[in-house]
Amino acid sequence: MSLVDAFRRLLAHPLTRSLDIDSPATTEVRRQIVLSNSFLRKIYDEWYRMIAMRIPAGDGAVLEIGSGPGFLKDYIPNLICSEVFTCSNVHIALDARRLPFRQASLKSIVMIDVMHHIPDSRAFLSEADRCLRPGGSIIMIEPWVSRWSKLIYRHLHHEPFDPRSEEWTFPEAGPLSGANGALPWIVFERDRGRFESEFRDLTVKEVSRFMPFRYLVSGGVSMRQLMPGFMFRPVRAAEALFDGRAWAMFALVQLTRTSGAGGPGVAISSRNR
């Protein structure tokens, strides 16, 4: 066992250490971790407020993809909560590459730490484009590539992270173990021109890079909490001193659907019920 592997094992949260990452039971345990970790819960509270304030006004439902461990429904009324498998915190199990919603029926699709688990980003974006009404948004918070984050994601994180991948896909694996943590950065920054050419109805409205340290010291959903909750504000203040392009571990990305034929804001299509 290498020194890095030994360090990761030492930091692993005792509740998840022996669980299969692709099991729904692991998602249930991660929800317990989020709710009980005072530092991590403050991070989720901040993320949820960032997302909620960007939801466009008007008709249409709001879909969250990957709701399992979280509590975004406390911030967005009538949120449709979904997950890739059935678990206690969701309304519907779905595949983000084949969304069971009618054309132009959603005003927003939101997600946290999800896009980099979808094996085909292009298929997801095509489905999101179909389901969003004009003026609707995709709002996501995802891992991001920076000089600092490359070190952390490659050596301390359990998920694959390959900024050099030429594809917007990765081989199918388990629903949570399959990933490329660099995919959001690849699609919306490195390959931004290709994205704009292929998805002309979707405009990148915002890319905000942030949080070089707070998620790391919180322990996240798989490691031990490394800092008490009362240190949240001081660490957040310290982060403001660091340039996001060089230090960010995450980014908020907002896409807006700018054109296309709109339909009635009605929910799930009968063929996929």
Tokens read off for 19: 């669980």
Indicate if the alpha-carbon torsion angle 61, 66, 68, 69 is positive or negative: negative
> Where are the chain's structural domains?
3-272
Task: State the pLDDT at residue 156.
Answer: 84
In 3D space, the residue among 162, 202, 201, 203 whose CA is nearest the CA of residue 185 turns out to be 162
* pLDDT digits 0-9 by tens, 98-109: 999 999 999 999
Regarding beta strands 61-65 and 80-83, do their DSSP bridges make them parallel or antiparallel, or are they unpaired? parallel
Q: Could you give the CA distance from residue 140 to residue 65 in angstroms, rounded to a whole number?
A: 10
Predicted confidence band of residue 267 (pLDDT cuts 50, 70, 90): very low
Homologous superfamily of 3-272 in CATH? Vaccinia Virus protein VP39 (3.40.50.150)
Indicate the pTM of the whole model. 0.91
Q: Could you give the CA distance from residue 198 to residue 113 in angstroms, rounded to a whole number?
A: 23
Task: State the pLDDT at residue 127.
Answer: 98
Task: State the pLDDT at residue 266.
Answer: 36
* Residues in Cβ contact with 173 at an 8 Å cutoff, skipping those fewer than 6 apart: none
Q: Could you give the CA distance from residue 58 to residue 43 in angstroms, rounded to a whole number?
A: 28
Q: Could you give the CA distance from residue 201 to residue 135 in angstroms, rounded to a whole number?
A: 10
Q: Could you give the CA distance from residue 134 to residue 33 in angstroms, rounded to a whole number?
A: 37
In 3D space, the residue among 195, 197, 190, 231 whose CA is nearest the CA of residue 213 turns out to be 231
- The larger pLDDT score, comparing residue 164 to residue 14, is at 164
Predicted confidence band of residue 19 (pLDDT cuts 50, 70, 90): confident
Task: State the pLDDT at residue 264.
Answer: 36
Tokens read off for 118: 């979808």
Predicted confidence band of residue 205 (pLDDT cuts 50, 70, 90): very high
In 3D space, the residue among 271, 98, 249 whose CA is nearest the CA of residue 182 turns out to be 249
Q: What is the CA radius of gyration of the chain?
A: 18
* pLDDT digits 0-9 by tens, 147-195: 999 999 998 888 999 999 999 999 988 888 899 999 999 999 999 999 9
